[in-house]
DNA sequence: CTGAAAGCGCTTACAG
DNA sequence: CTGAAAGCGCTTACAG
């Protein structure tokens, strides 16, 4: 026989209401009664049914997270940060992916209306921002992770792409590089525009304006890193550094450059972006702008749970600073 | 006002029971009545509350998955496979990580006893197999993904490590390599032992026994790949191939070898294991044993859901065959 | 074919 | 400080 609250109550000689109060730490319970109830709970190994609590209380004790894919390292990092705080606060974490197009949206909507979770974290699957905004407007607590430069009108946590790109430029200037090749992401992303803008500022300030011909558009994939680097070589572009908008493209470019006989960092210094554990295992080790990806997950989850616990969300975005990690792709060790 | 089953019933002029039957497609309902109810459901956008259904039906409509970490590419792939089938069958997916040691176990146990999910998928966090077995024995439907060679007595889906390693050896023999350096994982894992055993079979059969001195023990990390490759060079070991127990170590070894002036594949042919999208982006592209990782997730989820739907689990393990992908690290293109 | 009623396991005013 | 009772939103025998 499953041990329910009724069983505990009977055994302790009190009502279910009293057991409930003890379990939830309600004030104004006789300490002796409480102790007796606790003893029975202990003895029987009673744990409240999440379902029943949820139904009675009108909440589920779990939060959802919507992600575009589970196989991207960036997403994995965020998810781990989220899971750490969600779990440590005793909530469940329900994962939804948008891997299957419109079907995904339909099924997600079903879970949503089924009230399967109390609040939602989202790493925006491309093109769903309007729907998300709608959910938020309809009263679902939502926190967006990484705004991709859209700066929506609901709470989000992001990172300072501009500052990160600026740090990359300053580093390259400091080691005497003046003709950086930029392998960017797609400019339709706000983060890409921010990185482009931030990167050129220090050069501008130093009186070394960037050559527009040295900016090539990639799409964050390894293949595009290879293609753009080859293109730069084929066109005979003169450059003494590469600034790639992510680590993957930076790693790809390094392979092409070494293949072509360019020494790294002597001939070409290379800087990446993200600094994820899995993408900086390159030869040589990659200097990169560090995104606090995991921390973003933690902060977003914390903000959402605080909100569910009754603290009001300010609505102000939370922007975490980037870091900068210098490795051998820009500075030869001695 | 939230639209509940009672609201729908009132509007359609029937009882809640009838609405319930229509929603759940119970047999023996007048088609006209059903149509009327459906129209109202449509009109009001009614969706059953997952909580209430769960409570009444004694199940939650979601499955849990226990993972050691969310930041390993291997786990991400499995998770995606799992999510695809769990979502497509209308279940929720609750994720639990074991990132925080004993605390993780405690919190997981709470969710478990809270009956927050109907069945459990697990990628074994190291050292938890006994607990998992206990849960299974206590009646929780469990499917283990990747047995790591433990071959437990409850259902699991794995892959044929032995066959995969054999394919690697056959390929190397076919291209004329006879002195492969093996960079293995830790032999305490059953999968590692299976790979070692499988790899030597074709060599044995070909009358080209392996030199025991050429097996170096790594631990699946990039760092250990670097270290073991350097060690092999430092010791002056003679080898014309490398078989690494995962892609990451293979990639690391390739960097070291090229640095040392060895040409790949001319001087040394390199074979990895896993063939995950994220770990084979090496220079040159890596030949590797392909593990059907995503498929393992799909199959495991399918088996668990089938079981929850009343089909009985055979209890027999499901072993998926590995594949073998030839790329330029072993065969120069022409 | 359909409905009234009990029940799933809790929480929470309302009384006392 | 504690209990009886209603209610959360469904499902499911049991009648008819």
B85 and B230 within one domain: no
Per-residue pLDDT at A309: 81
Best CA proximity match to B175, nearest among B307, B287, B55, B280: B287
Best CA proximity match to B82, nearest among B68, B70, B93: B93
B69/A contact by beta carbon, under 8 A: yes
Does residue B100 contact residue A110 with C-beta atoms inside 8 Å? no
A327 located within any domain: no
Nearest nucleotide (C1') to the CA of residue A4? C9
Distance A15 CA to C16 C1' (A): 15
- Across A19-33, A243-257, B123-137, least confident range: B123-137
B123 and B99 within one domain: yes
pLDDT tens readout for residues A146-204: 866 667 778 899 999 999 999 999 999 999 999 999 999 999 888 899 999 999 999 99
Q: Pick from A64, A111, A258 the residue to mutate for testing the B interface (most B CBs within 10 Å).
A: A111
A260 located within any domain: yes
Residues of A with Cβ-Cβ distance to B104 under 8 angstroms: 87
Best CA proximity match to B107, nearest among A53, A86, A299: A86
A42/B contact by beta carbon, under 8 A: no
Residues of chain B with pLDDT under 70: 1, 100, 147-150
Q: Given a cut of 70, is residue A297 above it in pLDDT? A: yes
Distance B334 CA to D5 C1' (A): 83
A83/B contact by beta carbon, under 8 A: yes
Q: Pick from A95, A226, A298 the residue to mutate for testing the B interface (most B CBs within 10 Å).
A: A95
A173 and A153 within one domain: no
Q: Residue A92 and residue B94: Cβ atoms within 8 Å?
A: yes
B258/A contact by beta carbon, under 8 A: yes
Per-residue pLDDT at A149: 65
Say how many residues make up chain A: 334
B82 located within any domain: yes
B232 and B187 within one domain: yes
Nearest nucleotide (C1') to the CA of residue B21? D11
Spatial neighbors of A270 by CB under 8 A, at least 6 apart, are A241, A242, A244, A250, A253, A254, A257, A264, A286, A287, A329, A330
Tokens 């199940």 sit on residue: B59
Per-residue pLDDT at B173: 97
Q: Say whether A246 sits in a helix, a strand or coil.
A: coil
Does residue B214 contact residue B153 with C-beta atoms inside 8 Å? no
Between the two ends of chain A, the Cα-to-Cα distance in Å is 70
Q: How many domains does chain B have?
A: 3
B232 located within any domain: yes
Distance B54 CA to C5 C1' (A): 20
B220 and B185 within one domain: yes
B78 and B152 within one domain: yes
Q: Say whether B159 sits in a helix, a strand or coil.
A: strand
B261 and B168 within one domain: yes
Does residue B272 contact residue B280 with C-beta atoms inside 8 Å? yes
Tell me the torsion sign for CA atoms A252, A254, A256, A259: negative
Closest amino acid to nucleotide C5 (CA–C1'): B17
User: What nucleotides of chain C have any atom within 7 angstroms of a protein Cβ?
Assistant: 1-5, 7-13
A198 and A84 within one domain: no
Q: Where are the alpha helices (DSSP H) in B24-118?
A: 31-44, 50-57, 73-88, 102-113
- Report the percent of chain A where pLDDT is more than 90: 53
B261 and B222 within one domain: yes
B28 and B73 within one domain: no
A80 and A105 within one domain: yes
Best CA proximity match to B123, nearest among B54, B161, B73: B73
A314/B contact by beta carbon, under 8 A: no
A328 located within any domain: no
Residues of B with Cβ-Cβ distance to A72 under 8 angstroms: 76
CA dist., res. A142 & res. A151, Å (int): 14
Q: CA of A200 to nearest chain B CA: how many angstroms apart?
A: 30
Name the residue in chain B with its Cα closest to that of A77: B71
> Could you list the residue range(s) of the whole structural domain that residue B33 is in?
5-48
CA dist., res. B177 & res. A232, Å (int): 38
Per-residue pLDDT at A53: 85
A69 and A39 within one domain: no
B210 located within any domain: yes
Per-residue pLDDT at B250: 96
Tell me the torsion sign for CA atoms A42, A47, A53, A55: negative
**In CATH, what number is assigned to the domain containing residue A14?**
1.10.260.40
A333 located within any domain: no
B328 located within any domain: no
Show which residues sit with Cβ under 7 A of nucleic chain D.
A 13-18, 21, 27-30, 32-34, 52, 55-56, 58; B 2, 4-6, 16-17, 20-21, 23-24, 46, 48-49, 51-53, 55-57
Distance B13 CA to C1 C1' (A): 15
Distance A51 CA to C6 C1' (A): 19
Tokens of B181: 């350096």
**In CATH, what number is assigned to the domain containing residue B212?**
3.40.50.2300
Name the residue in chain B with its Cα closest to that of A276: B71
In terms of Cβ atoms closer than 10 Å to its own Cβ (0-12, 13-18, 19+), residue B138 is: exposed
Best CA proximity match to A255, nearest among A218, A276, A227: A227
pLDDT tens readout for residues A79-100: 999 999 998 888 899 999 987 6
Best CA proximity match to A185, nearest among A218, A214, A221, A212: A218
Residues of A with Cβ-Cβ distance to B53 under 8 angstroms: 114
Q: Pick from B58, B64, B76, B112 the residue to mutate for testing the A interface (most A CBs within 10 Å).
A: B76
Nearest nucleotide (C1') to the CA of residue A8? C9
pLDDT tens readout for residues A105-117: 777 777 777 778 8
pTM here?
Answer: 0.89
Per-residue pLDDT at A29: 85
Question: Parallel, antiparallel, or unpaired: how do β-strands B323-325 and B287-290 relate?
Answer: antiparallel
Q: CA of A114 to nearest chain B CA: how many angstroms apart?
A: 4
B184 touches strand C (CB under 7 A): no
């Amino acid at each position: 026989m499953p041990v329910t609250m009724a069983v505990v109550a009977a055994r302790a000689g009190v009502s279910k209401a009293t057991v409930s109060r003890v379990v939830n730490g309600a004030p104004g319970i006789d300490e002796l009664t409480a102790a007796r109830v606790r003893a029975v709970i202990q003895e029987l190994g009673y744990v409240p049914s999440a379902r029943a609590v949820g139904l009675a209380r009108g909440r589920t004790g779990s939060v959802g997270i919507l992600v575009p894919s589970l196989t991207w390292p960036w997403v994995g990092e965020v998810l781990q940060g989220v899971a750490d705080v969600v779990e440590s606060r005793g909530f469940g974490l329900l994962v939804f992916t948008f891997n299957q197009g419109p079907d995904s949206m339909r099924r997600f909507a079903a879970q949503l209306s089924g009230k399967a979770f109390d609040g939602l974290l989202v790493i925006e699957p491309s093109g769903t921002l309007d729907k998300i905004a709608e959910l938020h407007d309809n009263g679902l607590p939502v926190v967006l992770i990484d705004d991709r430069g859209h700066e929506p009108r609901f709470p989000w946590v992001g990172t300072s792409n501009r500052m990160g790109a600026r740090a990359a430029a300053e580093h390259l200037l400091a080691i005497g590089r003046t003709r950086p090749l930029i392998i960017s992401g797609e400019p339709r992303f706000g983060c890409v525009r921010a990185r482009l803008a931030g990167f050129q500022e220090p050069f501008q300030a130093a009186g070394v304006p960037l050559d527009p011909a040295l900016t090539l558009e990639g799409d964050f994939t390894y293949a595009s890193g290879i293609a753009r680097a080859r293109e730069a070589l084929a066109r005979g572009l003169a450059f003494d550094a590469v600034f790639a908008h992510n680590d993957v493209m930076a790693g790809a470019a390094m392979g092409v450059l070494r293949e072509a006989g360019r020494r790294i960092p002597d001939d070409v210094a290379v800087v990446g972006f993200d600094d994820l554990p899995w993408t900086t295992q390159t030869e040589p080790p990659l200097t990169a702008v560090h995104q606090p990806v995991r921390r973003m997950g933690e902060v977003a989850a914390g903000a959402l749970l605080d909100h569910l616990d009754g603290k009001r969300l300010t609505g102000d975005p939370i922007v975490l600073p980037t870091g900068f990690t210098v490795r051998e792709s820009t500075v030869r060790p001695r």
